Structures are given as C-alpha cells and as structure tokens.
C-alpha cells in the first residue's frame, strides 16, 4: 500500500486504539491535518498548546489509555513543554507529536524551527526526530509502547514536514515490539517476597504509604487485601488519593506537608514503613534525616531509579506493584494491631479539633466550606480535577474519595493552569461522569481560554473557582515566613461570571454559606457548563503545614483563635 507519512500516522493511531487527539494546527503539521478528515478520530481544538497537552494528560489519567497531542513546530511545540514536564513528573502516558521544518532546513534557523528533541530530552521517557517516512510507522508504535509500559510517561515525536508529505510502500507491522535495553516488566524474586512478609509479621506499629503507583498498576484491590489481612493503617500521598477508600476503618488520610497531623505523627512513631509506588518526595518526608527514624522501611516500585534515591530503605523491591502484592498476600497471616490503631485514634482526636475547620456556618464563606459542601452534595462520587495551590490542599483534606481514579491533580510539578484543560480531557475520556474543576483565581486565569474549547465541543463541565484575591499559597508562605510582606501576591481578577457568559456558559457568584448548596445543585442539574465564583475569606491558610526543612511532625497548627467550635 502506498501511503504518505501523514496517512501512516493516522492509520497507526487507529491501530493503537486512539479515538481522540488534542491539538492545534500550523504550517509544519498541515499535511497531517490535511489527511485527518479521512480518519474516524475526533480532534479537539485547544486554545493553547499547553492546554492541549494538559487535556491529553487528563484523558490519560481518567481513561488509563495513552493521550495524544498534535501541534506544529516552533512556538507551537515549545508551548507543550510545561504539559510534558507535568506528565513526566506524575507518570502520565502521553504521546506528543510535533511538526518540524523540512529536513533540509533543520539546523539553519528556518522559520519556526526549534530543537524539540534537545529541549525535551530531560522531561520525556524518550523522544524521536523523524526525517524519513519509512521510519514513521515503527517510531509511532514504539512511542505508544514506551509511554504506556513500565512506569508510564510522555514520549515526543518530532516529524519533519517532508516526512509527512513523502509517500512510500507501507504495510502495518503487527510484530511484538522489542527494544534493546528496555525491559519494563520486572519480577521480584521469591526470597524478597518472603522477607517482606517476615518484616510485616515482626512489626508492632506498621504504616502503609500508598502512592500513585497503586493506581497506575491497578493494584487497588491488592492494597485493600494487604491492609485488612495484616491490619495496617494506610496513609496516602497527594497522588495516591483514591488508592484506598477514605471511608475504610484503616484509612489514615492524606500525609505530608499539608497532610493530616495524626497521619504525620503516626508515620514518625511507626516501626515499619511499607512504601508502595511513591517517591519519598520532600513534600512527603519533611527533613529526610529525621523521617521515621525508628522504622524499618520497605519500598516497592516499578522504577528502579526511585529506590534508595531520597530515603535509604532496609528492603527495596523493583517490580510491578499489582504482581508483587499478589505474590506477597499468600505469605501473610492475619494480625491484630488494635492497640496501635487506638493510639493513632487518640492522636487524631486532638488533631481534628486543631486542624480541621468546623463545618458549621460562620460569618464568612471559607474555602473549606465550599470543598466540604461539594463533597457532601455530590456524595463523593464526582471526578475532581484541581489546579494548584491552597484549594488543591483543601480538596485533598475535605473531599473524601472512596473510589479510585476520581482525583486528578498536578502533584510533582505543581502546574498552575492544569485544572480546566485536564478536566476537559477527563470528561472526554469519561463522558458519563460528573466532572468538577476546582481552581484558584490565579491558576484559572492561566488557562481560562479553554472555556471556548468547552463551548465549541459542547462539553458539560462544572467549575468552582475559589476566589480569595490572592495567589493564596504563596501569600500563605509570605504570612508565615516573610512577615506578611505580600509582594506580588494580591491579584485582581476579571468578573468570572461575565467571563463565563462571554464564552456562552452560565456563571453564578456565591458569597455566603447559605448559597452554596443551591449553586452546586444548579450546576449539577442544569445542562451546559456552569462556573461558580466562590468569594471566600481572603487571608485563610491551610493547616497543618510542615515548614520546609522541618521534621514531618513539626507542624504549624491552626491558631486557637481560628478554631471554630
């Protein structure tokens, strides 16, 4: 079959099961767009290439499939960099396809030429520059395999324009992909499996730390069985939220810099840490030197480079979590850690009073009220996509996720502007789910142009803007550590209600607690996108907070005068 490079691309995407791509056309990828109408793949036109990349990322996280981005060269390609780095930090499988100037012009500073493989080398699992049409089919198949296997992540393919236009005899390749030196499927040996069970049986005060690897590996059920058999409480990282039901008796809660105080204290007092699919990031450990000093540590992860990288452990297992936990379970005997659980409950009683704002009405509308009420009126069933900042932390604390794959956020890179476009991708992946964006007034303005994408694609979305008139998280740091010198953090926003209406959506302003329920219910029941502008207390802070460099249990707690009884 004689095929152009553009045709090979679309036919290969079809064979990889691609149903939708997110993109933006330009001169260097016009041959691809010219061929697109002949193939049954939905194209969603973003308003910015960063938005397109976040959409593909949200699609991947919500569907478990590879998200696809299609953009042109030069600024179109470089606009994807933040989205690629976001996907890399959070292990999200996307394939970014960028157009490039004709091969004979590469290296001569042609119009809209940029070295995308050089730029993205540190933030991709792998990348390619394709100048020969005969390589394109193979490269595409390899890209999907690399993005989705092992520890997932982004792959970039930069395709010269002449390789898109050239024609060649082409037959689809159906042979298994084998890449020299790439062995994503790793198997833990039996001695290590036995050693894990022995360490669990010897522990008196064990804690499981569940990260995003549980979700990526689809090991939710295996984690539940492990926790119940050995009666081990489970703390979750930000990216691990949803990996263990929030309503389960063994669920400790969210841990780390803004995690629950009792979770952090339990970790510090434990004698065994079982870390599953998490990175031991600085936001989780606090001062590494004093992190759970009296605990033995087991770390299981599919990525060998994460083992003993940040925290030195007593036993490191390199393998797929689902497979590894399945093999551990038969070796476990039922255990009783009731005294340890009672001790944690005692810690939690005081902590809940200190750190959680009471849900009763007060004179002002608090962000915690909004998140709590959103959880209450959606029964915790919605798919939530957050932006980055205080609202993200409040969501982690106040919205209780009992099911997996319902919380999508930028954890590793902390990308402001992520929430709205990621939610578009998630809604495309799961059109029957109720999807909410929770964003701050600062981050929302970074990608609010994607409101037009919602309108053009007729996508129903519910948007909650937590509007406090500040870049809230930065302002909080300035309050705590810079003597309230609010340099650069007060922010004037447009009228979000009018912004929504200008894009053909509805907008509702909420200023009192008594208005929250009706606004949420209206957003849930009416057709079309509705944006809720919640005017919350300007100078409110997220508690607890572990200062940078402090020990995990050395938290700034809510002042007594702010405790609402």
- pLDDT value at position 354? 62
Instruction: Tell me the C-alpha distance between 556 and 553, whole Å.
Output: 9
Q: Is residue 112 flagged as an active site residue? A: yes
Residue 365: asked if its preceding bond is cis (omega within 30°), the reply is no
Are 305 and 165 part of one and the same domain? no
Q: How many domains does the structure of the chain reveal?
A: 3
Are 127 and 84 part of one and the same domain? yes
Confidence of residue 559 (pLDDT cuts 50, 70, 90): confident
Catalytic member of 1, 104, 111, 312: 111
Calculate mean pLDDT across residues 95-119.
97
Confidence of residue 1 (pLDDT cuts 50, 70, 90): confident
Are 141 and 82 part of one and the same domain? yes
Are 331 and 447 part of one and the same domain? no
Q: Is residue 161 flagged as an active site residue? A: yes
Instruction: Indicate whether 353 belongs to any domain.
Output: no
Instruction: Indicate whether 455 belongs to any domain.
Output: yes
CB count, 10 Å around CB of 208? 26
- Domain of 151 in residue numbering reads as 2-169
Catalytic member of 16, 19, 112, 231: 112
Are 145 and 223 part of one and the same domain? no
Q: Is residue 186 flagged as an active site residue? A: no
Burial 132-145 (b: 16+ CB within 10 A, else e): ebebbbebbbbbbb
Residue among 62, 54, 51, 66 at smallest CA distance from 20: 66
Calculate mean pLDDT across residues 62-79.
98
Instruction: Indicate whether 548 belongs to any domain.
Output: no
Catalytic member of 11, 49, 260, 450: 49
How do residues 323-382 score in pLDDT, each as one tens digit? 999 999 999 999 999 999 999 999 888 777 665 565 555 668 999 999 999 999 999 999
Instruction: Indicate whether 52 belongs to any domain.
Output: yes
Are 76 and 205 part of one and the same domain? no
Catalytic member of 125, 161, 322, 427: 161
Are 317 and 394 part of one and the same domain? no
Catalytic member of 88, 255, 446, 473: 473
Q: Is residue 111 flagged as an active site residue? A: yes
Are 375 and 313 part of one and the same domain? no
CATH number at residue 432: 3.40.50.970
Are 382 and 514 part of one and the same domain? yes
How do residues 393-436 score in pLDDT, each as one tens digit? 999 999 999 999 999 999 999 999 999 999 999 999 999 999 99
What contacts 226, CB < 8 A, 6 or more positions away?
Answer: 208, 232, 325, 328, 329, 332
Are 61 and 106 part of one and the same domain? yes
Instruction: Tell me the C-alpha distance between 155 and 556, whole Å.
Output: 40
The helix or strand, by DSSP H or E, that contains position 194, with its residue range, turns out to be helix 190-202
Instruction: Indicate whether 559 belongs to any domain.
Output: no
How do residues 12-62 score in pLDDT, each as one tens digit? 999 999 999 999 999 999 999 999 999 999 999 999 999 999 999 999 999
Are 406 and 332 part of one and the same domain? no
Q: pTM value?
A: 0.96
Instruction: Indicate whether 175 belongs to any domain.
Output: no
- End of a domain among 290, 314, 347? 347
The larger pLDDT score, comparing residue 185 to residue 287, is at 287
Instruction: Tell me the C-alpha distance between 38 and 527, whole Å.
Output: 32
Instruction: Indicate whether 204 belongs to any domain.
Output: yes
Instruction: Indicate whether 45 belongs to any domain.
Output: yes
How do residues 178-222 score in pLDDT, each as one tens digit? 999 898 988 899 999 999 999 999 999 999 999 999 999 999 999
- pLDDT value at position 565? 47
């Amino acid at each position: 079959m004689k095929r152009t490079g553009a045709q090979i691309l679309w036919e290969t995407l079809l064979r990889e099961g691609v149903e939708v791509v997110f993109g933006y056309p330009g001169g260097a990828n016009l041959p691809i767009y010219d061929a697109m109408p002949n193939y049954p793949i939905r194209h969603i036109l973003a308003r910015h290439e960063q938005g397109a990349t976040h959409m593909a990322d949200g699609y991947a996280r919500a569907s478990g499939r590879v998200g696809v981005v299609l953009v042109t060269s030069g600024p179109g390609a470089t606009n994807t960099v933040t989205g690629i780095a976001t996907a890399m930090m959070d292990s999200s499988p996307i394939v970014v396809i960028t157009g490039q100037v004709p091969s004979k012009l590469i290296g001569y500073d042609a119009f809209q030429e940029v070295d995308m493989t050089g730029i993205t080398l540190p933030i991709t699992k792998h990348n390619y520059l394709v100048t020969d049409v005969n390589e394109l089919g193979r490269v595409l198949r390899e890209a999907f395999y690399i993005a989705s296997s092992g520890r997932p992540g982004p792959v970039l393919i930069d395709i010269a324009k002449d390789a898109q236009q050239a024609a060649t005899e082409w037959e689809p390749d159906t042979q298994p992909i084998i890449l020299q030196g790439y062995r994503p499927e790793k198997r833990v040996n039996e001695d290590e499996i036995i050693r894990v069970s022995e360490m669990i049986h010897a522990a008196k005060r064990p804690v499981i730390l569940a990260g995003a690897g549980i979700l990526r590996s689809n090991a939710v059920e295996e984690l539940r069985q492990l926790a119940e058999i050995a009666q081990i409480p489970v703390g979750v990282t930000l990216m691990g939220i949803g990996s263990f039901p929030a309503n389960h008796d063994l669920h400790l809660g969210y841990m780390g810099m803004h995690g629950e105080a009792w979770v952090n204290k339990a970790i510090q007092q434990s004698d065994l840490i079982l870390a599953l699919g998490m990175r031991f990031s600085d936001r989780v450990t606090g001062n590494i030197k004093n992190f759970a000093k009296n605990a033995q540590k087991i770390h299981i992860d599919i990525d060998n480079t994460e083992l003993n990288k940040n925290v030195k452990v007593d036993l490191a297992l390199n393998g797929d979590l689902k497979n590894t936990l399945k093999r551990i379970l038969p070796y476990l005997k039922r255990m009783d850690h009731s005294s340890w659980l009672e001790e944690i409950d005692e810690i939690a009683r005081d902590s809940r009073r200190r750190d959680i704002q009471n849900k009763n009405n007060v004179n002002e509308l608090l962000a915690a009220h909004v998140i709590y009420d959103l959880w209450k009126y959606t029964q915790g069933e919605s798919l939530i996509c957050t932006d980055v900042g205080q609202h993200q932390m409040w969501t982690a604390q106040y919205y209780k996720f009992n099911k997996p794959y319902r919380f999508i956020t930028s954890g590793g890179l902390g990308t402001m502007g992520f929430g709205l476009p990621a939610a578009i991708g998630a809604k495309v992946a799961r059109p029957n789910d109720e999807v909410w964006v929770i964003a701050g007034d600062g981050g929302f303005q970074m990608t609010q142009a994607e409101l037009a994408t919602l309108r053009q694609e007729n996508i129903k979305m519910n948007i909650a803007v937590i509007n406090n008139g500040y870049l809230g998280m930065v302002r909080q740091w300035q309050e705590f550590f810079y003597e309230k010198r609010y340099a650069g953090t007060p922010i004037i926003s447009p009228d979000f209600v009018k912004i929504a209406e200008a894009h053909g959506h509805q907008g509702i302003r909420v200023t009192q607690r008594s208005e929250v329920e009706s606004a949420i219910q209206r957003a849930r029941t009416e057709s079309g996108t509705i944006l809720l502008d919640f005017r919350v207390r300007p100078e409110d802070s997220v508690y607890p907070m572990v200062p940078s460099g402090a020990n995990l249990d050395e938290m700034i707690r809510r002042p007594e005068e702010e405790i609402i009884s």
